[in-house]
Structure formats: structure tokens, C-alpha cells
């Protein structure tokens, strides 16, 4: 379980102006993915924040559910979905314990969650995602790449780290360098990221 401190810290991030990742629209890389039909079936958005990607998936026909540690983010996501007339489910829930959701999914997406965890929690998170994804289902993961210079924000993830994290029980369908858009303030509109398509075996 994530600590109460972690929950409070993440909730605080949503208490003022939008944080860097909360850009008010889907990440372009995930919008392109949605256009391919990949965001389908029973879909979980892990660490959904204010819900842009859950809503994107629902608009593309998925039965979409978003979970996040932050009650503020979940309240905003519910309000956005209602305002936009989109049916999607949102819950405050720890992505390190997805097995307690009591549901399995065809697709899991992650925009910016994996890269916030330390090594131990990354391993727990990967096991947690695997526990709710059906065999043959896909996990689409968008995270900072170690090609992004500097050390502000989340940890940078190397290709090697991804291969270690998903060495057992997963097959890499694709691994692509993409941009991850952020709000103004860092002197750049986007950072270098990985988009991984991982099939649960």
C-alpha cells in the first residue's frame, strides 16, 4: 500500500494551479494510440489523475475505469466526465493493490505513474498490473526516458530498466520514443518519453 504521506502529497499537487502533467487534454501519443483502436474493451487507467485518458478511452468505446490515490484528482475526473457527457468510472484506489478492485481488464494504460515509483514499488506495481490484466491483454505505458536531460521531475527510465522490469510474464510488442507534453514552466513544451506496448503472457 502507498503511504498516507504519499496520498497527501499527491492530493496536494492538485490543490492549486494544474501540475506540469495535467495539461487538460490527452497526451498526443495516447490520442494517436486511441485512433488505432488499441484502447478497447474493459480498460483501466492506472494513476488517472484528472481523467483525460480514461475519458479518451471511453470516447473510443472502451468500458473505462480510472484509479488514482488523490481524492481531488478523482473528484475533478468525475466532474469532467459528467460535464462532457462521457460514461466512465473513477475510484480512489492504490495502483500497488489493483487486485483488490475485483475486476480484470483487457487493456491497462499508464501515463506518468510507473516513473514515480522507486525500484521496489516499480516491481510491486508491475505485479499489481499483471494481476488484473487478462492473458493476451495489453499494457500501454508512457514514461520519462533517460534521453530527457536534467533531473527535475520524475526519474528517467532507460530501455534496459524497462526490459528488466518486464522481463518475466510480458512480451514487448513495441517500444517507441515519443514526446510527453507538459504545462509551460520548464522551458520546453514536451519531454522525451517511452511508449511501451506490453502484452501480458
Ligand X SMILES: C[S@@+](CC[C@H](N)C(=O)[O-])C[C@H]1O[C@@H](n2cnc3c(N)ncnc32)[C@H](O)[C@@H]1O
What is the closest distance, in whole angstroms, from the C-beta atom of residue 48 to ligand X in the complex? 5
Q: How far apart are CA 144 and CA 191, in angstroms?
A: 7
Stretch that binds ligand X, among 42-50, 56-64, 80-88, 155-163 (CB under 6 A): 42-50
Letters for 126-165 (x = contact with ligand X by CB under 6 A, - = none) are ----------------------------------------
Binding status of residue 2 toward ligand X by CB under 6 A: yes
Binding status of residue 49 toward ligand X by CB under 6 A: yes
Cell of 99: 487486485
Stretch that binds ligand X, among 32-40, 43-51, 79-87, 164-172 (CB under 6 A): 43-51
What is the closest distance, in whole angstroms, from the C-beta atom of residue 137 to ligand X in the complex? 19
Query: Can you tell me which of 48, 56, 77, 165 binds ligand X, judged by CB under 6 A?
Result: 48
Return the number of the residue (128 or 137) whose C-beta is nearest ligand X. Answer: 128
Q: From residue 19, how far is each of 13, 24, 117 by CA, in Å?
A: 6, 10, 18
Return the number of the residue (79 or 135) whose C-beta is nearest ligand X. Answer: 79
Binding status of residue 107 toward ligand X by CB under 6 A: no
Query: Can you tell me which of 69, 129, 141, 178 binds ligand X, judged by CB under 6 A?
Result: 69
Binding status of residue 94 toward ligand X by CB under 6 A: yes
Return the number of the residue (72 or 169) whose C-beta is nearest ligand X. Answer: 72
What is the closest distance, in whole angstroms, from the C-beta atom of residue 144 to ligand X in the complex? 9
Binding status of residue 22 toward ligand X by CB under 6 A: yes
Q: What is the 3-state secondary structure (H, E, C) of the chain?
A: CCCHHHHHHHHHHCCCCCCCCCCCCCCHHHHHHHHCCCCCCEEEEECCCCCHHHHHHHHCCCEEEEEECCHHHHHHHHHHHHHCCCCCEEEECCHHHHHHHCCCEEEEEEECCHHHCCHHHHHHHHHHHHHHEEEEEEEEEEEEECCCCCCCCCCCECHHHHHHHCCCCEEEEEEEEEEEECCCCCCCCEEEEEEEEEEEC
Q: How far apart are CA 144 and CA 66, in angstroms?
A: 21
Using CB under 6 A, list all residues that contact ligand X.
2, 10, 21-22, 47-49, 52, 67-70, 73, 94-96, 111-113, 116
Amino acid at each position: 500500500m502507498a503511504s498516507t504521506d504519499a496520498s497527501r502529497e499527491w492530493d496536494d499537487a492538485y490543490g492549486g494551479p494544474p501540475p506540469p502533467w495535467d495539461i487538460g487534454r490527452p497526451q498526443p501519443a495516447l490520442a494517436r494510440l486511441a485512433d488505432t483502436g488499441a484502447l478497447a474493451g474493459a480498460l483501466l487507467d492506472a494513476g488517472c489523475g484528472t481523467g483525460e485518458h480514461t475519458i479518451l478511452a471511453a470516447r473510443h468505446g472502451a468500458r473505462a475505469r480510472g484509479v488514482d490515490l488523490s481524492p481531488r484528482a478523482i473528484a475533478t475526473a468525475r466532474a469532467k466526465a459528467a460535464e462532457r457527457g462521457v460514461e466512465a468510472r473513477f475510484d480512489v484506489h492504490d495502483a500497488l493493490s489493483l487486485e483488490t478492485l475485483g475486476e480484470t481488464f483487457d487493456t491497462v494504460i499508464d501515463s506518468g505513474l510507473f516513473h514515480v515509483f522507486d525500484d521496489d514499488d516499480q516491481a510491486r506495481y508491475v505485479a499489481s498490473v499483471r494481476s488484473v490484466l487478462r492473458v493476451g491483454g495489453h499494457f500501454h505505458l508512457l514514461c520519462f526516458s533517460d534521453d530527457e536531460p536534467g533531473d527535475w521531475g520524475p526519474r528517467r527510465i532507460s530501455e534496459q530498466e524497462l526490459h528488466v522490469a518486464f522481463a518475466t510474464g510480458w512480451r514487448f510488442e513495441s517500444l517507441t520514443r515519443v514526446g510527453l507534453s507538459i504545462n509551460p514552466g520548464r522551458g520546453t513544451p514536451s519531454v522525451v518519453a517511452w511508449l511501451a506496448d506490453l502484452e501480458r503472457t
